[in-house]
Amino acid sequence: MNHQLIVFLKALLGSCKDLLPIILVIAFFQFAVLQQAMPNIGDILVGLALVVLGLTFFIYGLEMGLFPIGESMAQAFAKKGSISWLLTFAFCLGFGTTVAEPSLIAVAEEAATVAAAGGIISNTIESQLAYADGLRFTVAFAVGLAIVIGVLRIIRGWPIQYLILGGYVVVVLMTIVAPSWIIGIAYDSGGVTTSTITVPLVTALGVGLASAIKGRNPMIDGFGLIAFASLTPMIFVMIYGMVIS
């Protein structure tokens, strides 16, 4: 019990250190540049304390639960020797974590609001919900497919640089033909997939799988899945824009 408490307190201290640069930047510009008092200082301090606690619990939970389960499941599937089940698990993991990604939900809702205001879709709640859900599921499918490709790369030993370069060539070509209003959303969709939920589990999957396959180096082969998860959503969201335009 004491050991767990010490680990938690270290994580709490680490969260404070991580947030300190942000606090110093905001305080400097607020007091030195704007020369104004901080509005609602009580609410800000309470919110800051909640952010520190939330970040601490999140990091502590990752190290305690998500990283171990991701690695152990990847190793178990590799030892089982069933590639089909491993790929199915990889797709479901990528799809499920991306659908639940808070940053993607926020971007999809904002994109729906802007699309309605710009006349891309009908300015109704139903149309905005359908657009946001379509965007979320498109990105989630793209990430699931990306993780499958990444897992196949680890299994087969394919060089990552050629796959990434080929993918970005496709992105550039899609940018030329896709509607201009979807391009920015597509590029942002590639970034929001690599966030709080997706990254820990996908990274653990890659490292665990590379550790379980003979001849694979976790440092060389275990990482790189996140690059695919950032790349494929850009392609599929531009396709989504072409379909609904």
Residue 96: both structure tokens together = 């499920």
> What's the rounded Cα separation, in Å, for the pair 183 and 237?
8
Between 29-43, 60-74, 116-130, the lowest mean confidence (pLDDT) is in: 60-74
Gap between the Cα atoms of 92 and 229, Å rounded:
13
Helix (H) or strand (E) holding 245: none
Write the pLDDT tens digit of every residue in 49-63: 888 888 888 777 777
Inform me whether the pLDDT recorded for 35 exceeds 90: no
Per-position DSSP letters for 17-41, written without gaps between them? HHHHHHHHHHHHIIIIIS--PPTTH
pLDDT at 189 (0 to 100): 86
